């Protein structure tokens, strides 16, 4: 029989760390779980087999050396779905809180990955913590003009989403009425259920469908939301866009996503799109403009005024300035993040406008300048 490539099965390199192997395993186990619509039981078992070997230092060493393992292996040489390893072959003994810090992985997510095995949402982590119900995050885009991106602006938008009922404040009860103990779960908020899985019959706990985990139900339902505590409604949201924001940056507004009964409201993510300006451009915290001047301004010097984004800017062109030189106006650029009292600069690039046609008099004057060595 050809040797199975466990590294390829888990989609990791041979030099992968234990954390990388764990993370890849959970991702693939979630994708191919046989109870899911597009699951694959054979693939799921193969993934578990690979993980049982590569997550064990001794078995991994034997596999890398001989192409198989000898440390308590079953007929397949990989330990398969042996008992005594926690939940149906998934070995959690080596895990501890914080193993995946900095890797965008939370043990609370195990409820999503293995929830189908244990009754949907009833999974408890090895630390006795259950995943908190949370409303769906929402995302939107917002166009703002160039000036608003530089100095900041407050915007109001109206969006339709699932929101907490304002009449009952999310309780589901008619205002002024009392709550009573849920009879289905006897006030526990969770009910036990036996479910058949690929590992055999398993008893699980899941959120009570009657009280949604609250343990109590209203004696009289709120007439606005019919006791749900949430409903689909329009909501006016205020968005504070900070000064100096760049196009493509996203603002997170905590608690402004969709609400969920007996849980935490999701967040709203607003991606800002800045419309370009006809004259001004941005370079980091500096504002850049190209300013047309005459040849005589270069030769003799001149005082000039341009219209800035926050008022007029007066500056002086020194006589004999280089054509490639940039005039810098301190403190009139973009407000610096986390320090509104400091700003970048304005950079004025000079563009000399030469005459397209010359009169006889002008031509003679230029010839005289040439004679002077200019």
Closest CA to 287 of 272, 305, 307, 309: 309
Which superfamily does 285-371 belong to? Answer: Urease metallochaperone UreE, N-terminal domain (2.60.260.20)
pLDDT of residue 133: 80
Closest CA to 55 of 71, 39, 76, 34: 71
Strand ranges inside the chain, DSSP E: 138-144, 153-164, 179-181, 190-197, 200-207, 216-218, 230-241, 250-253, 268-274, 281-283, 286-294, 302-308, 311-317, 326-329, 335-336, 339-343, 346-353
pLDDT of residue 240: 95
DSSP H helix total and E strand total for the chain: 8, 17
Predicted model pTM: 0.58
Which superfamily does 134-167+228-276 belong to? Answer: Urease metallochaperone UreE, N-terminal domain (2.60.260.20)
Sketch the domain layout of the chain as residue ranges. 6-114, 134-167+228-276, 285-371
pLDDT of residue 66: 76
pLDDT of residue 273: 96
Q: Which long-range contacts (CB under 8 A, 24 or more apart) does 174-180 make?
A: 174/218, 174/220, 174/221, 174/222, 174/223, 175/222, 177/218, 177/219, 177/220, 178/218, 178/219, 179/216, 179/217, 179/218, 179/219, 180/216, 180/217, 180/218, 180/219
- Which residues partner with 270 through β-bridges? 140, 251
Mean pLDDT of the chain: 80
Quick one: DSSP state of residue 265?
-
pLDDT of residue 30: 79
Which superfamily does 6-114 belong to? Answer: DnaJ domain (1.10.287.110)
Cα–Cα distance list, 94 to 90, 91, 107, 336 (Å): 11, 7, 13, 46
pLDDT of residue 329: 96
Is residue 315 a contact partner of residue 327, using CB atoms and an 8 Å limit? yes
pLDDT of residue 97: 39
pLDDT of residue 120: 41
pLDDT of residue 74: 40
pLDDT of residue 232: 92
pLDDT of residue 84: 33
pLDDT of residue 29: 82
Question: Is there a shared CATH topology between the 6-114 domain and the 134-167+228-276 domain?
Answer: no
Residues of the chain with pLDDT under 70: 1-3, 35, 69-131, 196-201, 340, 374
CA distance 270 to 154: 13
pLDDT of residue 112: 42
Task: Spell out the residues 6+ positions from residue 325 whose beta carbon is closer than 8 angstroms to its own.
Answer: 350
């Amino acid at each position: 029989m050809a040797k199975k490539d466990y590294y390829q099965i888990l989609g990791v390199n041979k030099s992968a760390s234990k954390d990388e192997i764990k993370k890849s395993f959970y991702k693939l186990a979630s994708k191919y779980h046989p109870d899911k619509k597009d699951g694959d039981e054979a693939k799921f078992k193969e993934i578990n087999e690979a993980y049982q070997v590569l997550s064990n230092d001794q078995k991994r060493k034997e596999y890398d050396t001989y192409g198989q393992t000898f440390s308590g292996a079953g007929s397949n040489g990989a330990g398969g779905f042996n008992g005594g390893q926690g939940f149906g072959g998934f070995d959690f003994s080596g895990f501890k809180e914080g193993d995946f810090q900095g890797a965008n992985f939370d043990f609370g997510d195990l409820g999503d990955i293995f929830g189908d095995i244990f009754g949907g949402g009833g999974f408890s982590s090895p630390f006795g913590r259950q995943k908190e119900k949370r409303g769906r995050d929402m995302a939107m885009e917002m166009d703002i003009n160039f000036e608003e991106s530089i100095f900041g602006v407050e915007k109001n938008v109206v969006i339709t989403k699932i929101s907490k009922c304002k009449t009952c404040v999310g309780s589901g009860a008619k205002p002024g009425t009392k709550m009573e103990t849920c009879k289905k779960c006897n006030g526990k908020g969770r009910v036990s259920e036996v479910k058949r899985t690929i590992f055999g019959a398993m008893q699980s706990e899941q959120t009570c469908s009657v009280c949604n985990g609250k343990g109590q139900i209203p004696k009289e339902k709120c007439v606005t939301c019919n006791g749900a505590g949430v409903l689909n409604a329009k909501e006016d949201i205020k968005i504070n866009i900070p000064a100096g924001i760049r196009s493509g940056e996203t603002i997170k507004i905590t608690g402004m996503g969709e609400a969920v009964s007996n849980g935490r409201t999701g967040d709203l993510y607003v991606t800002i799109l800045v419309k370009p300006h006809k004259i001004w451009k941005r370079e980091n915290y500096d504002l850049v403009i190209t300013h047309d001047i005459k040849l005589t301004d270069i030769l003799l010097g001149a005082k000039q005024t341009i219209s800035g984004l926050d008022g007029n800017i007066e500056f002086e062109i020194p006589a004999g300035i280089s054509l490639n030189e940039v005039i810098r106006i301190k403190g009139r650029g973009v407000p610096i993040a986390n320090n509104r009292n400091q700003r970048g600069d304005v950079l004025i690039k000079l563009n000399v406008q030469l005459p397209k046609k010359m009169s006889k008099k002008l031509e003679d004057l230029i010839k005289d300048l040439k004679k002077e060595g200019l």
